[in-house]
Amino acid sequence: MTTMPTGFFWGNSTSSMQTEGFQGVRGKSTYDLKKETTWEKTIDEYHRYPEDFDLMAEMGVNMYRFEISWARVVPDGDGEFNEAGIQFYSDMIDALQARGIQPMIALYHFDMPLALAEKYNGFLSRHVVDAYVRYAKEIISRFADRVTYWLTFNEHNLYFTNMAYDIGGAINAEQSLDNLYQIFHHTMLAHAHVANFVHEQFNQLKIGGMLAYQVTYPATSKPTDVFAARRVDTFLNDNLLTMFTAGHYLPEVLAFVATHNIDMDYQPKDDAVLSKQTSDFIAFSYYRTDMLNADKIPDGTAPNRYLDIANEKNPYLTANEWSWTIDPLGFRNALTSIYSRYQLPVFPVENGLGWREEMTDDQMIQDDYRIQYHRDHIDAMKQAMIEDGTNVIGYLGWGLIDIPSSSGDMNKRYGAVYVNRTNEEERDMSRSKKASFDYLRDVFKSNGFNS
């Protein structure tokens, strides 16, 4: 029964591709290569955003984190800007502010302009780094008078995993360690250029890096399990956070690069860019925790690939049908660990529970499991703030109006509002409140008191 500090943000997060789809004037992105039919209109927020913003306002949302699609505002990625696309986002920002909702903009959420992916293999190329920085500077300059909070890359540490080739636009690249580390380094350079630009040009703006925070437990107390879990934390969490806050990679990561002769395209001129960057806050997504069995890791495996090989089911936690564990204590651990180590305000900008749901006979979906998930995670956040001294500036749920998952699956729903469509059928896409809508409205409008 604790109220959050004045100015605390409560809200919703999405990506452009999971809300807008392929409608309107835009260039193709790498999502156009995906086979799922869901992407054409997704939930049709391209046309229905006023209705959805009304629902967010009724829920008590005071911040909406959305993505500007690079391919919508620069159709070929590095050419002319599309004024119609920029106007679309300008109208969205105005509509949010008219409802008392502050926008937060993510500049990249996995949808590389297809022209850059096909011609340059995305972020394997420094040309694409330059194209991204050009795009980001233009968008920030256009909206700096109305948007205070900015993110460069969604879940930046995923560019240091096997997902990097897909989300980084390296669609025709060999999946080698050299290429993996180059994609990560190039996106890190892109982030630094943009963060430096913001801090040099716009004192009123706040920009932060974001990661998918990996809380990884050792499968046992065996030293090898503990050591492997610690290395995952170093490579996927601390290395990135150290770069965001101190402008350099960790010695252990650089030693691994040197001893394994990895070419990450680290050039002498990069130091001046990286070392100058700072962050105003640290943003992260949190859904689940992992457990690592070191016995399954082959010798010579890069630590940033351990979870792809040796992740196991945790017998002490429940999970949804996609094997995503439910672990609110892990959330407290993430919040407190980040703040204790780096002492910057932390901002969980994605949190939620995916569940299979079907509306029948116009009855409200009684999603008590989602209410319990958010209640437990908000309570864990309060404990991190009150008992651990963590400075948290907001809490954003993920996809609080149903959207397809990142793999295009409409069956995996996170929302407090049901959208009437399936993977195969668009239907009428009508919106219907679930039981969790009333719960979140009470939490948000009471600033956390009624959690």
Nearest of 286, 284, 442, 448 to residue 378 by alpha carbon: 448
Q: Are 21 and 72 in contact (CB under 8 A)?
A: no
Beta-strand relationship, 206-212 and 149-151: parallel
- Integer CA distances (angstroms), 99 to 59, 187, 273, in order: 11, 34, 39
Q: Which residues of 375-402 are buried (b: 16+ CB within 10 A; e: fewer)?
A: bbbbbbbbbbbeeeebebbbbbbbbbbb
Q: Is 118 a catalytic residue?
A: no
**How many degrees, rounded to 5, is the angle at CA 135 between CA 130 and CA 136?**
95
Residue 287 in tokens: 């859904």
Question: DSSP letter at 124?
Answer: G
CA distance 64 to 56: 9
Label residue 247 exposed, middle or buried (CB < 10 Å: 0-12, 13-18, 19+): middle
| DSSP designation for 67 | E
Contact between residue 180 and residue 264 where contact means Cβ atoms under 8 Å apart: no
**Rounded to whole angstroms, how far apart are CA atoms 307 and 367?**
31
Q: From the candidates 45, 67, 155, 357, which is the catalytic residue?
A: 155
DSSP symbol at 236 = I
Q: How far is CA 222 from CA 229, 237, 299, 333, 359, in A?
A: 11, 22, 17, 21, 47
155 annotated active-site: yes
- Helix 328-342 × helix 239-246 angle, to 10°: 40
Q: How far apart are CA 193 and CA 207, in angstroms?
A: 12
Beta bridge partners of 13: 65, 398
**Which residue of the set 350, 357, 358, 426 is catalytic?**
350
Q: In angstroms, rounded to a whole number, what is the distance separating the alpha carbons of residues 25 and 365?
A: 36
The Cα–Cα gap between 92 and 96 comes to: 6
Amino acid, single-letter form, for residue 41:
K
Chain-centroid distance, C-alpha 294: 28
* Contact call for residues 152 and 107 (beta carbons, < 8 A): yes
Please give the Cα distance from 203 to 192 (Å, whole number). 16
As annotated, the active-site residues are 155, 350
